[in-house]
Chains A and B, each alone.
Chain A
Amino acid sequence: MGKKVLVVDDDPDVRLFSVTVLEEHGYTPLEAANGEEGLKMIKEQKPDLIILDILMPRQSGIRLYRELKTDKSLKNIKVIILSGIAKKTFLRSQKALTEFGGKEVPEPKIYLEKPVEPDELAEAIKKYLG
């Protein structure tokens, strides 16, 4: 069984796209439709990598990323952000949340703006998981 990759995105078409790329490259995909569901699955399944959208119902990727990076048992799980929201916005948002009293969180190493080509996504995953 390949390494587990959790795709957190509310758009079923994007999940299907990511899952297809993952399966083609021998990984085991998992899926969640929003941040809240994603966090639950992360705790239960402990995936090796998370492909995370930002703008979602229930809980956004911005808050989920913050929860991951400030949780001792989860902070080492690798994250690729895949979103229509600009990276600049993500960073400003994290800065604002830190200024409101939150902990400082590291920048995501890979931030892809939608839409991406399958090869681009596959390469990003490979960078993390080999």
Chain B
Amino acid sequence: MDIKKLLFVTKFEELGFDALQSLLSLRKASLNHVVFVNVIERDRVAMHRGAGYLKEEEIRLRETANIRFIDWAEDLFEQGMEVGVYIVVGSLVSEVIKAAQKEETDLIVIGRSHKGVLEHLYSGSDITELLRRAEIPVLVYKQLSETAIAIEKPFERPLLAIDWSPASLSAVEYLKALKDVIQELDIIHVVGQKKLKGTSAMGIQAIRKDTRKKLEEICNIFESEGVKADAQVYIGEADEEIEKAAREHQASMIVLGSSGKTAWVERWLGSTPQSIAEKSIYPTLLIPFDQK
């Protein structure tokens, strides 16, 4: 699957033009169209006691966004790219999904939300909601100043974490299409502690050997496409080990298949993709299971 069209969702403070520029290496994978989206949350302009609908505030917010987008668009137009823009009032996730469908984009890029723990628990985060509803891959971008890691181009050294689910195998297919962008790929699987309980040392070694063999098969797929790929097996809690692996291998991004569990399951039981998307310091690309 090529990435021809990208939806870049920004509130400006969490995702700027530097982030977009770091993604332009995707032009080697056919990217030629960027659609900017800025959603003015309804609360900011909705009916306020004594003031009614804040039309002037809406105009001010729209024009502020428009001016930023014009600057960004000029830069991309001059490189021969196609650019579109949506500045809308509404709820973030609904408007993003609507724009992605209207524009038929191949990837959604969004910054991390900054809601507190309680808000996450009771209302769910925008990221969780977006991951649940999006039918296309979502890249949760992390700001450079936030991580203090010089991530120049997220797609150059991704780390793919596989759990053998259909979604993570979709991620393999997705990354294969990006062979001209990826310089080096690390592929890992995290074996849970539960799986090792009561197992002998030999048994543990056998699990490692089997897992590694399966991972090597995936590596071979990439190597045959000309992408250098290495396999690693980790043991422990998935979230922690994936983060550790990304750090150890100096990854530029974490890639995961997104399970598509229902929102309440993710909220109460948690999920690795959701947790990494929200907590990891690395940009996180989530690939939904491609049912086609």
A interface residues with partner B (beta carbon < 8 Å)? 10, 34, 54-60, 62-63, 84-86, 89-90, 92-93, 96-97, 99-100
Instruction: Identify which of B69, B78, B79, B102 contacts A58 (C-beta below 8 A).
Output: B102
Nearest-neighbour CB distance to chain B for A75, whole angstroms, equals 21
A123 to B259, CA, bound (A): 59
Complex contacts, A85 vs chain B, CB 8 Å: 70, 73-74, 77
Give the interface centre of B35, B84, B86, B99 by most chain A CB atoms within 10 Å. B84
Partner of A96, one of B66, B78, B99, B103: B78
| B-chain residues with CB within 8 Å of residue A62 when the two chains form the complex | 77, 82
B85 touches A57 (CB 8 A): yes
Quick check: B35 and A93 within 8 Å, CB to CB? Answer: no
Query: Could you give 19 example pairs across A and B, Cβ below 8 Å?
Result: A54-B77, A55-B84, A56-B84, A57-B85, A57-B102, A58-B84, A59-B82, A59-B84, A60-B77, A60-B84, A84-B66, A85-B73, A85-B74, A89-B74, A89-B77, A89-B78, A92-B78, A93-B77, A93-B80
Name the B residues within 8 Å of A54 (CB-CB).
73, 77
Chain B residue contacts of A86, Cβ below 8 A: 74
Inter-chain CA distance A63–B77, complex, in Å, is 10
Secondary structure at the A interface, as helix, strand, loop or mixed, is loop
Q: Is the CB of A57 within 8 A of B103?
A: yes
Cβ-closest 7 pairs across A and B: A96-B80, A93-B77, A89-B74, A92-B78, A57-B84, A84-B70, A97-B80
Q: Size of chain B's interface in residues, with CB distance under 8 A? A: 18
> What is B's interface to A at a CB cutoff of 8 Å?
35, 66, 69-70, 73-74, 77-80, 82-86, 99, 102-103
- Name the residue of chain B whose CB is nearest to the CB of A63: B82
B83 adjacent to A55 (CB under 8 Å) = yes
B100 to chain A, nearest CB (A): 12
Q: Enumerate chain A residues within 8 angstroms of B103, measured Cβ to Cβ.
A: 57-58
Which of B74, B82, B85, B102 counts the most chain A CB atoms within 10 A? B74
Task: Name the residue on A nearest B80 (C-beta).
Answer: A96
